[in-house]
Amino acid sequence: MKGRIIVYRFKQKIGGSWYDVMEKDGTPLTLKTDKPQNSVRHILKALRPDIAYLYNVMGFEVWPDIEATKKIEEYKKEKEEQSRWWDR
């Protein structure tokens, strides 16, 4: 059985505030995984070597996105309930 899927965001400190690291299309850089937070850097390096290079240069931080994680869990629960309804 897989563990809980957690959404992680990459943040960078600019001045005194933390900001999301953005993709080229303007969306925040996120990663979904069931692995622990300390392995997110290695996953990023495998999936996105271009971003991983910047990660080392600019010093990004990895933060769990609790709201996005809850939304994914709610969506999965809803889908599961719908499939149970059809099985009856």
Mean pLDDT to the nearest integer, 20-40: 90
The full set of domain ranges for the chain reads: 6-87
Mean pLDDT to the nearest integer, 41-57: 80
Of residues 85 and 84, more confidence is placed in 84
Q: What are phi and psi of 85, to 5 degrees?
A: -60, -40
Q: How far apart are the first and last CA of the chain?
A: 25
- Cβ pair 6, 69 in contact under 8 A: yes
Name the nearest CA neighbour of 7 among 54, 40, 55. Answer: 40
Query: What local confidence, expressed as pLDDT, does residue 83 receive?
Result: 79
